Structure 1
Amino acid sequence: MRFQLTDDQRALKAGVRELLDRCFGREALRAAVGAPGRLDRKLWRALGDAGFFALRLPEADGGVGLGLPEAVLVFEEAGRALLPGPLVATHLAAGTVPGAASGERVVVAADGELVEWLDSADVVRGEVTGAVPLRSVDPLTPLHRVCPAAAGRARAADAGGAADPVAGLLTAAEQLGTAVRVQELAVQHARAREQFGQPIGTFQAVKHLCADLLVRAETARVAVYAAAVTGDPADIAAARLLADEAAVRGARDCLQVHGGMGFTWEADVHLHLKRAWVRSWRRGGSTESEEVLAARLLA
């Protein structure tokens, strides 16, 4: 089976990238890093106006009327741009929470023991008690730890819910966006940076790092796109595992290509690594995905 994007899907992907370049370019990214924990409501409403949150709602309900494959393409671009905010939770709430689809209201959801963007939320889904702010490794993802008992009840209430696999798939799509972007950044730097009178990309060790980046990103892309078509929980779990690995290992390898400058605030690479780390813990991360695959194999 071949999973080729249609002309409309390619146009959607290009349109979202153009929108994010305009609304959340590098200057806006740097401004957000300088004001951590503050959600840009103007940007959020712009996303709502563009149909980001209402993408899968039927047209009769004021939505765009597209499907899960298109949502994956949109969230891939969001991950590539390091777009901040509780994107997945608000997108999933678009059909049930008034104002979520238009970007007028921000929705967050209890996710195990961690909750993202709690202080910026208009609506909190799931039981959240005893929330304690944490120092997040990602300056663009504020975190709170919630009461373990409440977290357990929230997880039990959500277990087997329809939103769980979709949330995991959209997170995998964001991780895919990071994997693709860090591969681009590594190649760009390897071509531009010179040592001993030649680009570092001519050195075998750097070539191998860039090749591994590409292989992991494209493997994850195939898995994520296929899971978006089938919607099967096991396919989504496999896609999540591959996308998490492609994002985290890819960002770490990209840092190696950049050397010491990759750790500085002037470079974007470390921001992608930190976001990939935070995303990898959503919904139990690799542990829950491995459990889903193990249950399928045993069945």
Structure 2
Amino acid sequence: MRFQLTQEQRALRDGVRQLLARRWDARRAPAALDPPATPDPPAASDAPVDPPALDRALWRELGAAGFFALRLPEADGGAGAGLAEAVLAFEEAGRALLPGPLVATHLAAGTVPGAATGETVVTAVDGPLVEWLAAADVVRGDPSGAVPVRSVDPLTPLHRVPGSPPAAPSPPVPSPPVPAPPDPTAVLLTAAEQLGTASRVGELAVQHARTREQFGQPIGAFQAVKHLCADMLVRAETARAAVYAAAVTGDPVDVAAARLLADEAAVRGARDCLQVHGGMGFTWESEVHLHLKRAWLRARRRGGGTEGEELLAADLTA
């Protein structure tokens, strides 16, 4: 299978990167946040902080650029592109730490008025957590009883949807309902965002290793740092091959494999990037810790972890 991008695909990727660089710079994202009033809040506290506001102007600009309508037919006002092009766009969004319910709004284009143009913000109930609930105009799923909770990612406000209380046991005890499988497209677009994070933290680690000096030489000259950077590259490129292949085949099993590899590449890559940066990676002036927190949060979305592993296991044993 060939993964060489076409000229049009490269232009799309470059165009999204340029748009985000102009309108949303992850290096300035920490400066837009107020540092916590208390640096070490009590561990048991789950009280939410003031959530960040969604940039509606940026959302509409994304809509005008065709980000949400990318896969809509041209007759319906879209670009008529495929899943492979959407993956490239979402990879750039992940690389830039772009906030907002991107996947849900993209999937709603064509069915929810205003979603394709960015006039309507759409979010979805994804398991027990809902991202950007207060900022959404339309919510897919039942958010009844949702309560705000403190999010590990300061750029992604969260609500928790409580589960239905269990009925009193009485023989025979009915089996719990089996949840509907996650949308493979949503799972793959999340994997693309994770791939963007994995690529970006690898770049940040290499840049820092080349410029930061200790004992009279760049820290990149030390074997331990070289190994960290090399491992980040291997995981990111392995995930890239899997994500791009799943975008071509659209097979749910390929999507599950891509998601597992992308989650690992993003989370472990961001942790290794922090290791390279040392303590400064945790500061508000750095974007490194934000990539790790966003990767943690995305990994909790449906379709990864145990769900993906069980789908792969079922396919292997079929």
Q: TM-score range by the shorter chain?
A: over 0.9
Report the counterpart of residue 250 of structure 1 in structure 2: 269
Q: Does 1:15 align with 2:30?
A: no
> Which of the two has greater helix per residue?
1
How far does the alpha carbon of each residue in 1:113-135 deviate from its partner, in whole angstroms, 9 at most, with x for none?
10000000100001111101010
Q: How does 1:61-72 map to 2 (within 5 A)?
A: 61-72=76-87
Report the counterpart of residue 97 of structure 1 in structure 2: 112
8 Å Cα contact 1:37-1:117 kept in structure 2: no
Report the counterpart of residue 231 of structure 2 in structure 1: 212
Structure 1 segments (4+ residues) deviating >4 Å: none
Q: Which amino acid aligns with 1:2?
A: R
- Is the partner of 1:133 in helix, strand or coil? strand
How far does the alpha carbon of each residue in 1:46-103 deviate from its partner, in whole angstroms, 9 at most, with x for none?
0000000000000000111100000000000000000000000000000100000000
Report the counterpart of residue 272 of structure 1 in structure 2: 291
**Which deviates more, 30-39 or 256-265?**
30-39
User: Which of 172, 176, 180 lines up with 1:159 in the alignment?
Assistant: 180
- Is the partner of 2:164 in helix, strand or coil? helix
Report the counterpart of residue 241 of structure 2 in structure 1: 222
8 Å Cα contact 1:16-1:77 kept in structure 2: yes
- Is the partner of 1:119 in helix, strand or coil? coil
- Is the partner of 1:283 in helix, strand or coil? coil
- Is the partner of 2:98 in helix, strand or coil? coil
Residue 147 of structure 1 deviates from its aligned partner by 2.1
Report the counterpart of residue 41 of structure 2 in structure 1: none
User: Which of 103, 127, 141 lines up with 2:142 in the alignment?
Assistant: 127
Q: Does 1:49 align with 2:70?
A: no
Q: TM-score, normalised by structure 1?
A: 0.95
Query: Distance between the aligned counterparts of 1:100 and 1:25, measured in 2?
Result: 24
8 Å Cα contact 1:84-1:141 kept in structure 2: yes
Counterparts in 2 of 1:259 and 1:179: CA distance versus 1, 3 Å: same
Gaps of 5+ in 2: 35-49, 166-176
Which is greater in Rg? Answer: 2
Q: Which amino acid aligns with 1:292?
A: L
Q: Which amino acid aligns with 1:248?
A: V
Q: Does 1:140 align with 2:161?
A: no
- Is the partner of 1:108 in helix, strand or coil? strand
Q: Does 1:24 align with 2:33?
A: no
Query: Distance between the aligned counterparts of 1:125 and 1:158, measured in 2?
Result: 15
Q: Does 1:237 align with 2:256?
A: yes
Q: Does 1:37 align with 2:58?
A: no
Q: TM-score, normalised by structure 2?
A: 0.89
**Which deviates more, 217-226 or 276-285?**
276-285
- Name the Cα RMSD after superposition: 1.7
